[in-house]
Structure 1
Amino acid sequence: MSYKLTLVASSVVLALSPSLHAQDDFSVFDEVVVSGTRSEQSIKNIPSSVSKVSSEDIEQNLSTDIKQALKYEPGVQVNGQGRFGMEDFTVRGMSGSRVKVLVDGVEQPSSYNPGADVMRKNANTFEVDTLTAIEVNKGPTSTLYGSDALGGTVLMRTKNPEDLLGAGDDTHVGLKTGYASANDEYKATVEVANRTGDLDTMLIYTYRDGNETETHGDGADILGPERGAADPYKIESHNILAKVFYQINAAHRIGVTGEYYTRDAKGDILSGEGRDGGMPGYIYTNVHGKDKDNRYRLGFEHEWQADFTAFETLGWSLNWTESESEHNSFDHTEAKGNRNRARSGKDESLQFDLQMQKAIELATSRHEFTYGATASNDKFKLSYTDYNLDTGVSTPGSEEVPSSESEQRAVFVQDQMFFMDDRMVVTAGLRYDDYKATPDSSSGLEQHNSDALTSRLGAVYHWNNNLSTYAQYSEGFRSPTIYEMYYDKDNSMFGYRIEANPDLKPEESQSYEVGIRANNHLGSVELAVFYNDYKNFISSKTTMDGSVEVTRNENIGKARIYGSEFKGSLWLDEAFGAPMGSYARLSMAYLDGEDRETGNTLDTIAPFTTVVGVGYDAPSDAWGTALTVTAVAAKDEWEEADNLKAPSYTVVDLTGYYRPTQDLTLRAGLFNAFDEKYWQYQDLEGATASTQGIDRRTQPGRNWGINLDYAF
């Protein structure tokens, strides 16, 4: 604790130090991001919090998936575990479809979870070895990205040929391999890129062969619902990313992108053995599963350096994407015999994006305008079939949501204004979105129409090269999902009925954020304070119709979330005379909020989290090491009073690298070094004292990994 306080004190001293007022040209906030303005922009000119995890960060932390890549980011959690893998993101207390997810600007479908243990369509088809960066824009960003950006945006940027190539004609070949003990996974990645004249090409292939992610080692390795060990599952994935760009002339550049991801998984669901279904003849045995998840993308893009009066640059893209999940759940009961409940869900989307930019110089200011339009057509379809393996008879399963199509259209404009020799940067944005959803006519359900106008106004003031303050007001909205509007199921014979409601209104948010950024030769600090108001929250409401429970989604909720986040880094060699290359880092995230209808704390509110790191990079760049400590407070306030408390925990990770030659790097890591038994708070949502198999929700105990990278 004394070390942590020392680092905090040092960071505060750094922020207030008179040396900050020295005109130092170096700034750690010159890092470029895209998600803050829809174009490349230095973080120092963005009036809101944006976290960026680079490909170097992903490699240094030996991350095997998105969850590991973002585990040290304040205010960000990645949800999902077990058979179906990663589900969604939580950003400052907002999760699910309230957080927009994009890959290279292409919208990804939100996860589908109808509550049954045999069907999930999760966001588990992303390969980290293809990424050059992950950006998290915190808070509402609907003026930039439209619906679903109610609580924030996660933008994954895949590598381009220029990320791997040098100047002029060049060829790059990279080979990566590694092992992670947490899921007994081996991986191999091959990168090939080439530039010949005006033609750039790139191909990245990644293969992973592993198993389920382990739970803590003291979980009971038994059969049945009380099982504490993870269910044994074999998981294999392939990802191919190909890009071709051609510079037609000085004004025009075109590109084609293709990506294919497939994930195959199968195994025994030992936690389901002996489970009592609650009716005579429904004791489950021989429970196992076989799953397949696919994602496809094919895109075309065109960049035009036009230098017209209306715009100087124009870029447009057309992308087709499809993702599909197929789950086969096998079991035996006395009532049904041997069966397979086959469940599949598919999202297909065609997306168009047009963006233009224009810079205008005035006497006392300059303006960078960004404006354009987007359009997308999406299709969602479920297919359920129950197979009796003893008789060979198949029957249609009960699908919760009818096949549906949706359309989104939007226009947007943003003006980034620079005043006072760029000391004051003001960003204003406006966007109009129109949304339509149409269920299959056979469902008898009505079409849904909604629209929204969102605005944003923020400013950054650079007091000097080392100290900046910012403030922003922004709005967000989220159209109701197909699932929320059209889930329609009549099980009155079992005592319940779920009714569709296509008349739902979009959820809305208003966000206020202020912050300070400071840096000098000693390090950097960033502090953000925010307050978010949400209304028209969509939630389920249950009433009684005689002896039948009737559940229906309605706009009944209001919520508020507020908090603060701190990030600081300190060069220990400059501050305290430590060996050159020594550094320390600290991040803290505090969050609170409530359902304003009930006064209860929201389940998505993360407990206070602190991440402290110290490291060393040799001046020769030949080796380095880092020690990271993550401390998370307990979460004992939930919307339901009987929800289990999530205990506090502290986890220690140690990583290091050795580079014997410029082209060869060996990395190794020891994670959860002291074998802490812990649960992430989101994995205990809905768990009570009577919930079975709580240990099966723990995170891995002590584990290790090793990676080898060779590039030539």
Structure 2
Amino acid sequence: MTVSQPLSPSFRPHPLVLACLVLMAGPTLAQTAAPDAAPIAQAGGTSSLRELVISGSRSERAIEEVPASIDVIGGEDLDPARVQDIRDLVREIPNVSVKRAPQRFGGVTGSTGRDGNAGFNIRGLDGNRVLLTVDGIRVPRELSSGVFGSAAFGRDYYDLGLISRVEILRGANSALYGSDGLAGMVAMFTTEPKDLLKPGQTFGGRVSLRADSEDDSRGVGVTLAGAPNDTLQWLGSVQLGRSGELDNQGENHALNSTRTAPNPQKDKSASVMGKVVLTPGAGQRHTLTLEHVDKSGEVEAYTARSTTATGTLDVDGTTDMQRTRLSWDGRFKVGSTWADELRATVGYQQSDAQEVATELRTAAPTYRVRDVTYTEKLWQGVLQAEKARSLGADWGQKLVYGVDVSVSKMDNLVTGVGAPVYETYPLKRFPPTRETNTALFAQSEFVSERWSLIPALRYDRFDLKAQNSTLYPLTPASLSDSALSPKLGAIFRPTQELNLFANLAAGFKAPSALQLNNFFQNALAQYRTIPNPNLKPERSRTLEIGARDKVGPVQWEAAVFTGRYKDFIDELVVVGGVAGNPANPLTYQAVNRGQVRLSGFELKGRFALGAATDLRVAYGQTKGEDTRLGVPLNSVNPARLMVGLDHRIGDWKLGAVVSHTMRKSTSDIDYTSTPNQFAPPSYTTLDLRASWQVSRSTRLSAAIHNVTDRKYWEWTNVIGVAAGSPVLDAYSAPGRGISVALVTDF
């Protein structure tokens, strides 16, 4: 079955596309309320109210009305004692992880760990194949490639002190959100004034203090909110943080490449947000948000030093990442024949990232600097309408449709001192590129007491236009293409509490500017990379079948999934030439060639053992294979089981979580790149936490991670590390760690 297929004059719609069109082409679309259903167990806790989500359908609805697996994290689950960064955010969520390798980079080559908390891995896929948004605005892309030497840019442009809710959606979602939704989506939503103001309150706020021994971090946050009248609310927030290197269980503190203890590191973060909410009446609501996140760091890279008196004597690294966003979100009640509600979003976002490596050597050049920057400017606009009406005979429909337009301008610069003899600074690895995406989308939802049928369809047109630059010596390639992404979801309610759901969806990811025009040339060694104007978008189709239920004190959700992914882009493939031949140098190019199959299942449950005691269980397992090469997919993490117990005693809440991660089987590892790849053994950790409601408005909380001080390795951080590596302990996870937080609302 072909999905998200680029259109051509001979295009023939796939049966799934036709089915979606037929289902959406019914009478005037409408909806009746689905029967109430109990909330399912959520990651890290549950709510006694129906959990509302947005990411699953582009409009607010109860989570049990979405035919897909979604984890919702908010409230006390975002307590800073438990969650201080995105790595902590997914600590207890099956089939989701965040990579954070140790910073062991060199002066010119080797970028291990420089991307920090690199980004999210969902069901075995990571990087730009996972869509990330903040208040609906796309987060800047990951940029990592061997051609950037010691630089690698991750996607941790967040400050969780500004976030009030996180939704993690599994599976392809391009039918609603377009490119980058191959694996899933992580949608974050910033704090609103209503989150802090109690009914009738005109001024309030929150002050938080936090500290964590795992990376010697400490932080303070102050958020103020006010409602001077019935039509105006405002919010202002400042979050400041300091931290050091992430701990591990390495014991070698040598000041050279044999070191296994972390390199010394000093990080700073400063984030501010201002928000104004206007409700002038007549069903209107306007939200204006200004957000700025700034993260910087310094690393003393002892691990890049030579073990002798010759070679590299010293390497230092600095990193600076900034993201600034200004957005307006407007909602209007229109009550017309074509829409009940209209929503418009316009946002401008600029991100700037810079990584510098400074090296002192005994050989010439004795002093060299590599300075790499990446900038991304984004304009994004969405106009969305919703229409609902009863169809009679106990059926209703709701239509969500609209247009989505974004324009991104991406650029890079490599400069410094003491460039390799085959290069001249400054230069660009890809030319300045403007990416324009224009899309039309529609989702129709048919609802009865027993059934919900939810077809969706989106048409995307993307255009990557590269500009000529004196710092880019090749003739740049440009690319235009389109994709049609269908989705068909269904929910069956045999009883009021039981929901059975299925979701068949397509996804795609457009080529990046670097993949299109990757440039590197070594005239001495006679090899190079060249542009590829014939790249196609990566494509996916996924199927998920699941069930949610509540039987007395038991709430649970189970899902099985499978997916096929085509035209994966491999960035460095030999396409011609001969090594060492100056007339015909060895030539690399980004090409479509990967084909992957992923499948697995997940289980989440909550059991009320008593009025004050809850038992939580979560399990996730994924298997992946590169079907073209017939080898396992190394981006898939091993299976994981989590069992948690929560107990309430008066003003105290106590919790314990036991996590068991299965060993990485040798049959699940592709040894092509690293023949002696290290396969981490299984491990079990115990986490404890407690919170004390000191007063009605003040909460003191603490957590102890890895109570038994277990030494273990996370698979995602050791990919490419040999089993016999003398510095294997450098990649180990932190030992026992303690975090505390004090939060006061007023």
Q: TM-score, normalised by structure 2?
A: 0.87
Alignment of 1:249 with 2:277, yes or no, is: no
Alignment of 1:407 with 2:436, yes or no, is: yes
Task: Give the match for residue 32 of structure 2.
Answer: none
Task: Give the match for residue 8 of structure 1.
Answer: none
From 587, 591, 602, the counterpart of 1:565: 602
Q: How far apart, in 2, do the equivalents of 1:557 and 1:282 lie?
A: 43
Q: How far apart, in 2, do the equivalents of 1:56 and 1:102 lie?
A: 22
Alignment of 1:95 with 2:129, yes or no, is: no
Q: How far apart, in 1, do the equivalents of 2:36 and 2:207 lie?
A: 40
Q: How far apart, in 1, do the equivalents of 2:177 and 2:357 lie?
A: 37
Task: Give the match for residue 680 of structure 1.
Answer: 714
Alignment check: 8 A CA contact 1:572 1:584 kept: yes
**Partner of 1:529: helix, strand, or coil?**
strand
Alignment check: 8 A CA contact 1:100 1:107 kept: yes
Alignment check: 8 A CA contact 2:233 2:276 kept: yes
Alignment check: 8 A CA contact 1:27 1:465 kept: no
**Counterpart residue identity of residue 366, structure 1:** G
Task: Give the match for residue 546 of structure 2.
Answer: 515
CA gap 1:211/1:117 in 2 versus in 1, 3 angstroms:
farther
Task: Quote the offset at 1:25 in angstroms.
Answer: 6.6
Alignment of 1:346 with 2:346, yes or no, is: no
Alignment check: 8 A CA contact 2:197 2:205 kept: no
Task: Give the match for residue 427 of structure 1.
Answer: 454
Alignment of 1:51 with 2:78, yes or no, is: no
**Counterpart residue identity of residue 414, structure 2:** Y
**Partner of 1:204: helix, strand, or coil?**
strand
Q: How far apart, in 2, do the equivalents of 1:589 and 1:645 lie?
A: 19
From 615, 628, 632, the counterpart of 2:646: 615
**Counterpart residue identity of residue 409, structure 1:** T
Structure 2 spans left out of the alignment, 5+ residues: 1-34, 42-49, 104-113, 580-584
Q: How far apart, in 2, do the equivalents of 1:510 and 1:34 lie?
A: 22
Question: Where in structure 2 are the equivalents of 1:387-466 lying within 5 Å?
Answer: 387=417, 396-419=425-448, 422-442=449-469, 443-466=474-497
Q: How far apart, in 2, do the equivalents of 1:223 and 1:233 lie?
A: 14
Segment of structure 1 superposing worse, 690-699 or 219-228 = 690-699
CA gap 1:708/1:328 in 2 versus in 1, 3 angstroms:
same
Task: Give the match for residue 78 of structure 1.
Answer: 98
Task: Give the match for residue 386 of structure 2.
Answer: 357
Q: How far apart, in 2, do the equivalents of 1:537 and 1:293 lie?
A: 28
From 491, 498, 502, the counterpart of 2:533: 502
Alignment of 1:299 with 2:319, yes or no, is: no
Task: Give the match for residue 671 of structure 1.
Answer: 705
Structure 1 spans left out of the alignment, 5+ residues: 1-22, 574-579
From 566, 570, 577, the counterpart of 1:545: 577
From 239, 242, 245, the counterpart of 1:212: 245
How many residues are aligned here? 671
Alignment check: 8 A CA contact 2:40 2:556 kept: no
Q: How far apart, in 1, do the equivalents of 2:615 and 2:60 lie?
A: 28
**Counterpart residue identity of residue 598, structure 2:** I
Alignment check: 8 A CA contact 2:530 2:587 kept: yes
Alignment check: 8 A CA contact 2:412 2:430 kept: yes
Alignment of 1:535 with 2:566, yes or no, is: yes
Question: Where in structure 2 are the equivalents of 1:307-386 lying within 5 Å?
Answer: 307-333=335-361, 334-364=363-393, 365-386=395-416
Q: How far apart, in 2, do the equivalents of 1:307 and 1:542 lie?
A: 59
Deviations 1:118-143 (A, max 9, x none): 21222122011111111111010000
Alignment check: 8 A CA contact 1:53 1:70 kept: no
Alignment check: 8 A CA contact 2:37 2:64 kept: no
Q: Which has the higher contact order (CA 8 A, sep 6+)?
A: 2
Q: How far apart, in 1, do the equivalents of 2:594 and 2:40 lie?
A: 41
Q: How far apart, in 2, do the equivalents of 1:257 and 1:126 lie?
A: 15
Task: Quote the offset at 1:223 in angstroms.
Answer: 2.0
Alignment of 1:145 with 2:177, yes or no, is: yes
Alignment check: 8 A CA contact 1:287 1:331 kept: yes
Q: How far apart, in 2, do the equivalents of 1:341 and 1:660 lie?
A: 51
Task: Quote the offset at 1:584 in angstroms.
Answer: 0.7
Q: How far apart, in 2, do the equivalents of 1:371 and 1:282 lie?
A: 65
Deviations 1:583-634 (A, max 9, x none): 111101111121111111101111111011111023x4x1111110111111
RMSD between aligned residues: 2.0
Task: Quote the offset at 1:205 in angstroms.
Answer: 1.0
Alignment check: 8 A CA contact 2:368 2:418 kept: yes
Task: Give the match for residue 236 of structure 2.
Answer: 203
Task: Quote the offset at 1:397 in angstroms.
Answer: 3.9
**Partner of 1:144: helix, strand, or coil?**
helix
Once the two structures are aligned, what percentage of the paired residues are identical? Answer: 26
Q: How far apart, in 1, do the equivalents of 2:181 and 2:520 lie?
A: 29
